């Protein structure tokens, strides 16, 4: 039996997921790292003996179940799940592209649902552990040229809130991760200024602290930026549209 605590991270091949896998591995955790790109997972695995590659396409419901079963067979336990698979296509967002909208929802939202489906019964029976979902501050309100992405993240945010009610009854902690701008291959596609952008290592550190050292529901960062967006969420539509619209024109 594995005597280390085990964390399963999806979206681990790049960006926040990759840095989070390295952070937990460096802290002595056994990391089951999942993503579609097996070559990047192998590269990640080579950096730390605590990281183990479990390739996965989260849009495949049955594969999610199979990978979960493989992790349990190998390590016998999962203490934390962090589901963070996500895509964004800023260029297609500037026009109404139905195929891209479906793809974004399929990966970001339904991919996470497939992942949760695979572990739902396990955590209900275990009656301990943590389930954490990476959403975004883009889920707070609709932003210009990001309709599908905002919608997918908003759906994740409200789903996570609902899941909290269910899992609390069985002593399983649920947390929501809402990053601001983090420098990743996904945000590298953006062609606009990104206020207070931080490194994926910064994000991993904040998530680690939130998961291990704190007990709150939402882990959000950087605080100056996220609190400002929380303030915008409280504004009436007319004021919100005017303020954000002015920034968008610039």
pLDDT band at 171 (very low <50, low <70, confident <90, very high): very high
Q: H or E segment at 7?
A: strand 6-10
Q: Is residue 81 part of a domain?
A: yes
Instruction: Give 109-129 pLDDT, tens digit per residue.
Output: 999 999 999 999 999 999 999
For residue 249, pLDDT beyond 60: no
pLDDT band at 169 (very low <50, low <70, confident <90, very high): very high
Q: Is residue 47 part of a domain?
A: yes
Q: What is the pLDDT of residue 4?
A: 85
Q: Is residue 92 part of a domain?
A: yes
Instruction: Give the number of C-alpha atoms closer than 13 A to the C-alpha of residue 46, restricted to the C-beta side.
Output: 6
Q: What is the pLDDT of residue 164?
A: 98
Nearest C-alpha neighbor of 34 from the set 14, 4, 61: 14
Q: What is the pLDDT of residue 174?
A: 98
For residue 39, pLDDT beyond 60: yes
Number of domains in the chain: 1
How far apart are alpha carbons 34 and 40 in whole angstroms?
10
How far apart are alpha carbons 140 and 132 in whole angstroms?
18
pLDDT band at 132 (very low <50, low <70, confident <90, very high): very high
How far apart are alpha carbons 33 and 54 in whole angstroms?
6
Residue with tokens 């681990």: 12
Q: Is residue 11 part of a domain?
A: yes
Q: 183 with 200: CB under 8 angstroms?
A: yes
How far apart are alpha carbons 245 and 105 in whole angstroms?
25
Q: What is the pLDDT of residue 130?
A: 98
How far apart are alpha carbons 24 and 15 in whole angstroms?
15
Edge-to-edge strand order for the sheet containing 130-134? 51-53, 30-34, 6-10, 80-83, 130-134, 173-179, 218-221
Q: Is residue 238 part of a domain?
A: yes
Q: Is residue 217 part of a domain?
A: yes
Q: Is residue 196 part of a domain?
A: yes
Q: Is residue 189 part of a domain?
A: yes
Instruction: Give 45-104 pLDDT, tens digit per residue.
Output: 999 999 999 999 999 999 999 999 999 999 999 999 999 999 988 777 778 889 999 999
* Domain around 35: 6-249
Nearest C-alpha neighbor of 132 from the set 192, 206, 73: 206
Question: At 244, which CATH number?
Answer: 3.40.50.720
Q: What is the pLDDT of residue 191?
A: 67
pTM for the model stands at 0.94
How far apart are alpha carbons 56 and 85 in whole angstroms?
10
pLDDT band at 192 (very low <50, low <70, confident <90, very high): confident
């Amino acid at each position: 039996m594995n005597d280390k605590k085990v964390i399963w991270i999806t979206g681990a091949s790049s960006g926040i997921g990759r840095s989070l896998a390295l952070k937990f591995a460096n802290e002595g955790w056994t990391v089951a790292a999942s993503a579609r790109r097996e070559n990047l997972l192998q590269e990640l695995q080579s950096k730390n003996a605590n990281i183990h590659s479990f390739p996965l396409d989260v849009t495949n419901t049955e594969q999610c179940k199979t990978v979960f079963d493989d992790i349990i067979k190998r390590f016998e336990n999962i203490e934390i799940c962090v589901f963070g698979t996500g895509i964004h296509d800023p260029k297609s967002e500037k026009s109404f592209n139905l195929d891209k909208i479906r793809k974004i929802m399929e990966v970001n939202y339904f991919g996470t649902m497939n992942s949760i489906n695979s572990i739902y019964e396990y955590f209900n029976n275990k009656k301990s552990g943590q389930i954490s979902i990476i959403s975004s501050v883009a889920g707070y309100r609709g932003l210009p040229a990001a309709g599908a992405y905002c919608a997918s993240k908003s759906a994740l945010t409200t789903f996570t809130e609902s899941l909290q009610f269910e899992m609390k009854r069985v002593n399983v902690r649920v947390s929501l991760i809402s990053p601001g701008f983090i420098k990743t291959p996904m945000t590298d596609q953006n062609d606009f200024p990104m206020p207070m952008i931080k490194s994926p290592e910064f994000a991993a550190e904040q998530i680690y602290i939130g998961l291990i050292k704190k007990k709150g529901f939402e882990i959000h960062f950087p605080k100056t930026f996220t609190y400002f967006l929380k303030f915008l969420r409280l504004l009436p539509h007319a004021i919100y549209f005017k303020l954000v619209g002015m920034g968008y024109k610039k």
